Amino acid sequence: MAKNDNKMAMTAGGIRLMIAGLLVMAAGFILLAGGGSDDPQVFNYAMFNFRRLVAAPIVIVAGIVVVVVAIMRRPREKKEE
């Protein structure tokens, strides 16, 4: 008969890590926002700056990596002595 463990799949530390990753991703999307123009006939070059083209995608990918690590991380087993 199989052992019935009533353990959650994610520990409290994993959930905190996942929330941190989601906050990092949200910060990346905030960095990505903006750059619009009030007049549709005028082109705004502000959307091609470093923050939107480089920094924001790196922050978003870092948040995704943190979330994946939070999901895939194994909880540490307690040593039985």
The tens-digit pLDDT sequence of the chain (81 residues) is 556 566 777 788 889 999 999 999 999 999 998 767 778 888 878 778 899 999 999 999 999 999 999 999 877 777 766
Nearest-angstrom CA–CA distance, 72 and 9: 10
Helix, strand, or coil (residue 74) = coil
Q: How is residue 74 written in tokens?
A: 């194994």
pTM above 0.75, yes or no: yes
Q: Report the domain count for the chain.
A: 1
* Structural domain includes residue 5: no
* Structural domain includes residue 81: no
Check residue 64 and give its pLDDT: 97
Residue ranges of alpha helices (H) inside 5-76 are: 12-32, 50, 56-72
Nearest-angstrom CA–CA distance, 56 and 58: 5
For 19, the domain range is: 12-72
Check residue 39 and give its pLDDT: 80
Check residue 5 and give its pLDDT: 64
